[in-house]
Every structure is written in structure tokens, then in C-alpha cells.
Structure 1
């Protein structure tokens, strides 16, 4: 079964293709010269009428020799925006750095810096992007132009979503919606808020945010932002197994997206078509759409959209018995999958490094400030007769600071030990005791609301053989690899713990039996199709899964564990690499998945 990766490209990246649309033009009086008027008009039309914008840009480039220096820098900025829009991030970075370094126009520098920040993130220069975000926020009080200040905050919030700081980014966007500057509409923060809510699994196709955002962008004349929201809605339809509705929506927006020639939108609309046709069983159309994704992609590009396209092609070729073609596509899929996971790790690491550097710089600044204050104090004490009293005060402050520092260290140690008591030392997920405790509390709350939940037990097949063959270090790495795979289809409120050895437990909250079966089988399929690379050797492995739902067995954790374990035992006895579900308490266990390697 295919796992629909709605974040094929992070939705903040899909918004990043509209870098310059965030930038409102600097107002021009009725008597502005022709070049200034054309520049203002071009900035207005970038995403509302992109073909007209390109024609104006060509006209402006022909008239560059008659422009003032300030107008030439405005033109250079528009050229940088267009380079980023079409996916030429390296070219965009060079142009935008020129604008920042030489234009001498603070509002234009702020706008170009914001575009550059997104271009660097899209070009996987994450560490530089996060460091620039920190600098922009530090310099925010110095930006006098209210529009530029708003845009810097907007872009910084967007960059936070690159580092998967979704809740923090969502709070930024909500704050901006409450305090829009004059002349600004709610379209941009609404669209970005929708993207981070989608990333954090807090949207469905009926969420009120979607029509509200689409209407705001339609009224503002921003079709690219509206198309981004439409693509999110199509993804939600696919997540909810409504491929027919997804196709109907995609057919409406595809002509406009393909005409805009936007790199990310073009990739994603074709990939969503491929996913929808695959779900409907139309292999020919699914294959054509997946190949269209490859056709528009840059050589050597690695992203989640390409990963999903290769997976569809692999599944189709495998289904039709074309083994060589299936193997070729599987190799591409595996490479994309590994690259995609590495990219996620790189973003997280870059964010942490940038935060640590910012903290170090802040501490250094505070150190210099303290040293300066101490020098001033010494000079003052030398000129006064109360030097001894001041020294006693300084000593008292030092002792107080030491006490506070000791208290903070003690508190930090307490928090560290508390975390160690809750988490499994190897995998970083809940240990057995904490998982059982949290599951018990969650089920009690769920019983009062009469909600549904599914308990899933996962056991890696032939794990002892892997340990014996490759050693315990590889076995430990395989357990961590399994945890990373299992986390992908899980929702934010699901509980995940290591029950012991190679056995894991997942409590899917607010999840019906049918939904639980789909998620559990996605986990099984992902484990089966995602080998671990060790010294150039791919170690393939599989898992047996047992599932029980509260619909069948109620909310007693002891009974749920017993039935889930029985279902897992049945999966093992039936040949492993299977998902088995306990349907009803008094009925026999139902075998959901038979055979190996696919539904």
C-alpha cells in the first residue's frame, strides 16, 4: 500500500516560490517617471498576472540604461525574485546579495534579505538561512518601514516551519492576522498558517481555514497563494481516501498552475494526479502523471515529491510483472527516500546549530557588556570614598548569581533525570513503563468521550538473526531506523513506545478500526520497503503487526494488550511480515494482510 506523503515538498517551500509576492511595492505618486511606474506595476503583477509581469520585466531590462541608480536596484531585486520563482536559487542568491550589499535602500535591503533567506532554505543552505533569520529578527527594531517589518516577521515564521517548529510558526501567523499593517491583506499569513497546520496534521478537508484562506487570496488577487491552498485541499482529499474529489479539484487548477511554470506547483500537481489515479486503479494515467513529475524535475534533485513519484512507478511496474523496470524505479525511490530523510535531519541540525550560535553570540555580547559595566563601576568607585561599600555589594551580587546558577543547574539535572526515566535510552521514544502509564490515562479520557482508539503491537521479524549476523551495533541502528520509519505516518497525539527488545507499541488515539488498519499497514509497508544502509550494504527486514481496537474490546488496557499480543502471535504463526487484526472480542482474529510485499 502506498503511503501518501502530503509533504512531498514542505508546504513552506511551496509558499517560498512566491517570495516576492510578499513584498508590497513602494508607493509612487501620480507624477512618477515612466520607469518608476513600470517598476511599481511589475511588482504588483508578479503573482496576480505572471505572464504580464514577465513582459514588463523584459521591457524594464531594455530600458535599464535610462534608469536612476535606485530604479536599477529595484529592477535587480525583481530579477532576483524571478530567478527564485523559477527555481534558480543559486542565481537568485547572487543577485539578492548584490542588492543587499550595494543598494543602500533599507526597505529594499529588508525585502531582498527576506527573499534571500527563503532562497537559501530552498537551496538547502539551511544553516545560513536560519542564521540570517536570527539576524533579521535582531535587526527588526531598526527597520522603520512598517511593511518591511511585517514581511520580515512573516518570512522568519515561515523559516521556523522549515525546522518543523510548527506551533511556534502558527502562533506568529495568528499574531500577524490580528495586526495587519495598512494596505496588507490576510491572504499571505492565512496561506502560511494553513501550510503549517497541514504539516502538523491539524487540518482536514472540511476545516474552515481552507475556504477562508482561498477567499482572502482570491479577493487580494493572489492566485499563486490560492493555488497553494487548493493543493493542500487536494492532498487532504487523498489522505481521506477521496481520490475522485482530488482529481476533480486538480483538473480545475492544473491549467493555471502549468501555465505559471512554477517549479514546485508543477511538480506537486502532477504528483497529486499520480497519487489519485493510483488510488482509483488507473495505472496508465498514474504512470503518465508520475513520469511528468520526473520530466519537470531538475537533474540530481532529491525531494519527497520525486520519492513518491518513483514509488508509484515502482508499484505499477511490479504490479504488471515488469521486474527490471520495477527494480530500476525502486532503486531511485530508495535513493530519494534516504535523501529525503537526510534532508529532514539536516534542517533540524542546522536549526539547532544556528540557535546555539545565536546563544553563544548573545552570551559573548552580554559578557562584553558586563565587562564594560564593571570597568565603569571601578572608575566610579575610584572617584568616590564609598569604594568598600560598593565592593561588598558587588560581592553580594556575585554570591546571588552563583546561587541562582546552582539552582538552575539543579533544576536542569532534575529535568534531565525525569526525561531519562520516561524515555527509552536507545530509541528516544517512551519506555515500556511510561508507555503503559500514558496509554492507561489516555484510554480513560477516551472512554469518557466515547472515542475510538487502536492498539498496535509491532515485532521485527528475525531480529535475532540480524543481531547474530551483523552484530549488536547494527541491531541497535536497525531499531532506531525502525522508530524513524514508524513515526512518519503517526499523528501528533499518538503514543509510541518500546515494549522491550525488538517489540514496539503504538496507541492510535481518535482512530477507528479501519483507519488503524490503514496506518498500521503503512507502517508495515514502509518497514518492508525501506532497507537500512550499512557500509554500502542494504539490510532488508520486515515486521509482524497485531492490532486491536476499542470498538471490539473496550477500553481496558490489559485486555487490549492481551488481544493485540494474540493478533501479533497469529501474524508470526501465519508467516510473518503481516498485519493481523482482532475484529471482535468473541470472534476469531482476522488476517488483514496475506503474503509478503504489498497489499
Structure 2
């Protein structure tokens, strides 16, 4: 009732409060739980947190405590308290066998599936969604577990617009009269159509669910539908409609909000402004896009980091417990074997070495896991070079160091020309192969100390340290010629690509990264406008062009 008819839910809750003095202690705890749910639905997560913890710690009802834990898990995620959320998730997993009520098991499994999917643990999220299927209570349908399964498959990039799992969840939730969940599934479908370059079908889905989205007034769905609508219109070449939808998405956003939906809307506005030759708007939208992109990448990495942190702590505690256990066993053996001969002493030494070896192996495993995760947090998964966030952070640090010692550097902004045609003609696998090939070609012309990062899609950034403008122009032109002269052979086809490069130098722009980025982007924009496959340096202050 809370989701299907919130108005009726609020009325029933008010009636319960009128008769609250007559309720039993167990019913009072139920009422406290319902009040916390109402606060969460209104977005007042802080007001709901303490009552939920009170229910968990003091109600004495295992099943009610499980339901409150599921609600608290959602609240902790919404308020970005990820490490606390994952600790709670571990506790909920341990308590699963104790739950008697199918409803509490169902809610717990759903909350765990959603949280693990959010942390990128899609295989575990899928398993919990499948477990929900075997625990559906009498008052529920297959809608929620079907949706949790589809969401996990989508996050794992295992879902397509034609997938039966997605068609099933839409059909099931429609029949169950679950408008919010149905709209969420339809939004997944439209996002898949956009990813598959079928904007007309995406737009058809968005138009179909628009009345429901507006009626529900569920904020994430409003923002997502406007952002996807802007992307669909942009793919169809209907730039005015795309701009309108993107600006509407930005207009309804909350102050200071960071989200992938706003990131996509700003990217649409940036592309259209560049296409129209409006450099000022393009730079403005690009700066906003960078803020959203950096924040969005942080939001993606923070829950993964929190998940790994909790897992590392669990491993450490397990290691400490095993270490203490081994030491206790060794002391006991020592007391029993004191009277024995040299052979017994040797046995003691062997056991001690086994214990120490076990500890060392565990420590090595822990360190290896930490190093692997650190690399995942700083490197682009496809090409192996720096990701956008780490490239920006490292560039700012190096520029500050150069400024202190009066050194110079040059920033290269590089974009592959007509790269979209490769994806559209030969497929994304070919496009990925081209990106890896381009990175290998560029690395052959860069020095060990230079920074090389992928900014997103087919755009790259290079910071040449201790390198003035003329030297940077020469390096950039060598890279451009190498890319043009080294086509990639892929599945019997020769894939040829060219690159446009914009250069900004600290000699003209100073050491502020933001200004260098603006000048490099302006130079890249001019290189694209003037015909592509060229290098332009310091656009607006003395330009050098190489074709």
C-alpha cells in the first residue's frame, strides 16, 4: 500500500496514531517501524535512521528487526554512508537463517540484492534476486525479484533490449499494478535502446511511460526520463528538442546534485553547442560536464571502495582470529611436549613455521588485494592508462610542482575523428580494439614522466612535463602522423583512423589546470572545425596548424 497508494497509507497511519495508547508493546514497535518508513518515503532519512536502529536493537522481534534492517540499509545508501551500509549488509546475511517470516526474508534478500548490485557485485546480486523467487510471501508477486534480477543483469552489461528477462519484468509488474517498478523497468529498456543506437524505439518507450512518470512524481524517474529523452533526440539529429529536454532535466535537479543523468544531459548540450559553433556555450557546458563527470566517477567508486574496505576488515579479523588460534595450539603442544626428546622439539619448530607461513601468506594475499584495487581505482579498464579522475588529480599536482620551480608544461587534448562511424559500421568490439591500438601508438612517442589519460569515449588528455609549446607541437604532430600511418588490422579489415589535437601551454595560459583545459579544448574545437586530422596550438593567441 505504501508504494501503490501512498495517500491511503498515510491515512491509515494517522488512524493508528489515534488509537496508539491502546496498542500492545509489540504493536507499538510495529507502529514505530511504519513511521520510519513514512519518513524515508518523504526523503527525511535522518529522521528515520534512529527509530529504525531502535527497532533493530530493542524490539525483540527477529522478523521485524529484519524488515527495519532492510529499510535502514536503503537509508544508509541514500545518505552515502556506504561503509556502515556494507557492515549492516554482512550482519543481515548472517541473520538470514534465523528469520521465520517469508515476508522478512523476502525484504532482506531484496535489500541485499539491491546493495550488492550498487557495489558492482552483480553475480551476488543476481543470486539473491533468484533466492527471492523461492521466498515470495502471499501478499507479494514476482515483480520485485524479477526487477532486481533485471537490474543486476543490466549493471553487469548482460542485458539487451530483446532479453526475455526484461520483457518478463515489464509484463509481471504491469499485471501486478506496480507503476513505479514498471516505470523503472521501462527506463532500463529505453536506456538499452539508446546504447544500441535505436533512438526512435527509446523515444517511443519514453512517450508511452511519460504519463505514469508524471503522475508518480518519483524524482529519479523524472530526471532519468528527461535525460534519456535528450539523448534520443540528439541521436535523431533533433537538436532543438534535445536541448529542451536536457535543460528541463537540469532545471529540476537539486542544488549541488551529482548524477549520471545530469552528466548525460550536459554532454548533450555540449555536443550541440560545438556542432552549432557556439564556443562560449560549449566551454560553459563542458566545465559543468567535467564537474558532473568527476563527481559521478567518485559516486561510482566510493561504494566499491566501501565494499572492499569492509571485506578487507573481515579478512583482517579472520586472519587475526586464525593467528591467535594457531598460537594457542602451539603453546598447548609446547606444554605437552616439554619432556620429549630433540625430535619432539623439531616438530614444535615445524608447527611454528607452518603457523608463521600461514600468516605471511594471508598478509601477502591481503596486500595483493589492496594493490589490485588501488590500480582499479586509478586506471581505465579498457586501455590501462589513467582514468579521467586520476588524470585530472595528477595533472593538478604536477602543475603545482612545476609552478613552484618555474617550469613549463603543455596540455594536449586529442579526439579521434569520426570514431562513431567505426562503432556503427564494425561494432563496439572493433571500436575497443582501435582505442587500445591508439593508446599503444601514443605510448611509443611519450616520455616516461608524461601523463596520459582517457577523458571519456574517444577523447584523451596528455600532459607533457618540462615541455614548451614548440616541442609539444612537434610531439603532437608525430603522434598524429603515427596514428594516421598505422591502421589496425581487425578480423580481416583495415581500420584507419585520424586524430585532431588541441594544445595549450603554461607559457601562455599559466599553471591553472582549468584554464589550460579551456584553451586546449578551444584549440581542439578549432581543429575539428577546420577539417580534422590536424594539430592546433594556443587557439586565440597565435595559432600553429599542422595537417
TM range (shorter): 0.5 to 0.7
CA shift, 1:101, in A, is: 3.4
Measure, in 1, the Cα distance between the counterparts of 2:292 and 2:183: 26
Change (3 A) 1:574 1:377: closer
Change (3 A) 1:277 1:362: same
Measure, in 2, the Cα distance between the counterparts of 1:331 and 1:386: 77
Q: Which residue of 1 aligns with 2:83?
A: 127
Aligned pair partner of 1:77 in 33, 36, 48: 33
Q: Is the 2:143–2:176 contact (alpha carbons within 8 Å) kept by the matching residues of 1?
A: yes
Q: Does 1:56 align with 2:12?
A: yes
Measure, in 2, the Cα distance between the counterparts of 1:202 and 1:491: 15
Aligned pair partner of 1:99 in 55, 76, 86: 55
Measure, in 2, the Cα distance between the counterparts of 1:93 and 1:478: 48
Q: Does 1:279 align with 2:235?
A: yes
Q: Which residue of 1 aligns with 2:205?
A: 249
Q: Is the 1:290–1:312 contact (alpha carbons within 8 Å) kept by the matching residues of 2?
A: yes
Q: Which residue of 1 aligns with 2:542?
A: none
Structure 2, unaligned stretches of length 5 or more? 385-390, 392-397, 417-426, 446-453, 466-475, 504-522, 537-547
CA shift, 1:349, in A, is: 1.8
Larger CA deviation: 215-224 vs 205-214: 215-224
Q: Which residue of 2 aligns with 1:180?
A: 135
Q: Is the 1:170–1:196 contact (alpha carbons within 8 Å) kept by the matching residues of 2?
A: yes
CA shift, 1:97, in A, is: 2.5
Measure, in 1, the Cα distance between the counterparts of 2:283 and 2:102: 55
Q: Does 1:342 align with 2:298?
A: yes
CA shift, 1:522, in A, is: 7.0
CA shift, 1:244, in A, is: 2.1
Q: Which residue of 1 aligns with 2:44?
A: 88
Structure 1, unaligned stretches of length 5 or more? 1-44, 433-459, 461-466, 483-488, 505-519, 535-540, 579-590
CA shift, 1:361, in A, is: 2.4
Q: Which has the higher contact order (CA 8 A, sep 6+)?
A: 1
Q: Which residue of 2 aligns with 1:330?
A: 286
Aligned pair partner of 1:149 in 105, 111, 127: 105
Measure, in 2, the Cα distance between the counterparts of 1:128 and 1:547: 53
Q: Which residue of 1 aligns with 2:65?
A: 109
Larger CA deviation: 270-279 vs 85-94: 85-94
Q: Which residue of 2 aligns with 1:269?
A: 225
CA shift, 1:282, in A, is: 3.3
Q: Is the 1:571–1:577 contact (alpha carbons within 8 Å) kept by the matching residues of 2?
A: no
Aligned pair partner of 1:523 in 424, 444, 457: 457
Larger CA deviation: 64-73 vs 188-197: 64-73
CA shift, 1:166, in A, is: 2.0
Q: Is the 1:187–1:213 contact (alpha carbons within 8 Å) kept by the matching residues of 2?
A: yes
Change (3 A) 1:428 1:64: same
CA shift, 1:205, in A, is: 0.9
Measure, in 1, the Cα distance between the counterparts of 2:410 and 2:231: 34
Q: Does 1:555 align with 2:510?
A: no
Q: Is the 2:109–2:131 contact (alpha carbons within 8 Å) kept by the matching residues of 1?
A: no
CA shift, 1:86, in A, is: 4.2
Q: Does 1:499 align with 2:440?
A: yes
Q: Is the 1:50–1:260 contact (alpha carbons within 8 Å) kept by the matching residues of 2?
A: no
CA shift, 1:403, in A, is: 5.8
Question: RMSD of aligned C-alpha atoms?
Answer: 5.1
Q: How does 1:503-582 map to 2 (within 5 A)?
A: 523-524=457-458, 526-527=459-460, 555=491, 563-564=494-495, 567-568=496-497, 570-571=498-499
Q: Is the 1:86–1:261 contact (alpha carbons within 8 Å) kept by the matching residues of 2?
A: no
Measure, in 1, the Cα distance between the counterparts of 2:96 and 2:215: 37
Change (3 A) 1:410 1:121: closer
Measure, in 1, the Cα distance between the counterparts of 2:485 and 2:275: 27
Measure, in 2, the Cα distance between the counterparts of 1:503 and 1:197: 38
CA shift, 1:230, in A, is: 0.8
CA shift, 1:256, in A, is: 1.7
Change (3 A) 1:300 1:431: closer
Change (3 A) 1:355 1:275: same
Aligned pair partner of 2:310 in 354, 366, 379: 354
